[in-house]
Each structure stands twice: as C-alpha cells, then as structure tokens.
Amino acid sequence: MNMNHSSVTADTEQVPTITATLLPDTQRLHFWPQHFAGIPQWILLEPRIFAWMDRLCEDYHGGIWNFYTLSNGGVFMTPEPDGDTGDKWTLFNTMNGNSAEMSAEAAGIAACLLEYSHHACRTECDAMTAHYYRLRDYALNHPECSSIMHLID
C-alpha cells in the first residue's frame, strides 16, 4: 500500500512527494533494528508507542500494528482498525487538553510523533530527532494534518 502526500508552497513551487509504503510481514522482524539500531534504548520505542496509544485513545485495546517506511527515510507504525472503533477514533491528550477524531493511520502517526519527540529528548540523540522530523514532514502533508498537529501540540 502506497500513500502519497504532496504539497505546494506559497510560490507554487512543487515540494517532493513523500510516500509511505506498507512493510511486508516478512520484514517486520528487522524493522526496529534496521531503522533505529544506532539510537540508545531503541528497543523501548515500540512498547512506548503502544503506551501512548493506550493513553490517548479510550477505544484502543491493543492489537496488530502495521509498519510503514517513508520515501524520505522516515518510518512509522499504525494500529489496524478493529470492528469496535469504526473508521474514526477519538483521541484525547491530557498533557495539552486537546482532542481529535482521526483515522487509525493518523492516530498511529500522532503516537509515533509523541514518542519520537520524547525519546529524542530523553536520549539527546540527533538520529532520533531526525526520525521525528522525517515523520513530521510526512504528517504536515497528510490529509489529517490539522488533527495530528492539534493533538500533539
């Protein structure tokens, strides 16, 4: 599955499209070490993203997550929607008092951005900061950008 998002700047200069590609199941085992091995405590990222989603969304009760790579070198993961949540999930961030209704993909992006930011601050690792900005660049051109940014602000 490829998801394409592009934008046009104020002077109508085309910004390169950042595409997301679903990682095949056969490559899931190598996802974290391939993209984060040089980052201190990288092994904690996945459970902490799950914890963010659990804090943000009352309707989240665990489940399968999909992994995506971005054409700009970024990566993220999203929960698979289940029958209980429907097409949209309601998320609430107690740290800023903001809520948003969004797709599972946007919710996963938001949870990843929050963890990437916190992990970058905890580890003071430039490579983790770079992961945050690659995903943020994708999120800034996402159809649900305003909801994602409102939630993580």
Sign of CA dihedral 128, 131, 137, 143: negative
In which band, very low, low, confident or very high, does the pLDDT at 67 lie, cut at 50, 70 and 90? very high
In which band, very low, low, confident or very high, does the pLDDT at 3 lie, cut at 50, 70 and 90? low
Q: Which two tokens stand for residue 47?
A: 């459970």
**Are 66 and 23 a contacting pair, CB within 8 Å?**
yes
Q: Which two tokens stand for residue 96?
A: 């800023």
pLDDT of residue 14: 65
Q: Which two tokens stand for residue 59?
A: 């309707």
pLDDT of residue 59: 86
Read off the pTM: 0.88
152: closest CA among 103, 101, 96?
96
pLDDT of residue 7: 45
Kindly tell me if the per-residue pLDDT of 84 is higher than 60: no
**Are 148 and 112 a contacting pair, CB within 8 Å?**
no
**Are 35 and 131 a contacting pair, CB within 8 Å?**
yes
**pLDDT tens per residue, range 92-135:** 999 999 999 999 999 999 999 999 999 999 999 999 999 999 99
pLDDT of residue 140: 96
Q: Which two tokens stand for residue 93?
A: 């961030």
Distance between CA 130 and CA 74 in Å, rounded?
A: 8
**pLDDT tens per residue, range 16-65:** 889 999 999 999 999 999 999 999 999 999 999 999 999 999 989 899 99
Question: Hunting for tokens 């997550």 — which residue is that?
Answer: 65
**Burial of residue 72 (number of CB atoms within 10 Å: 0-12, 13-18, 19+):** middle
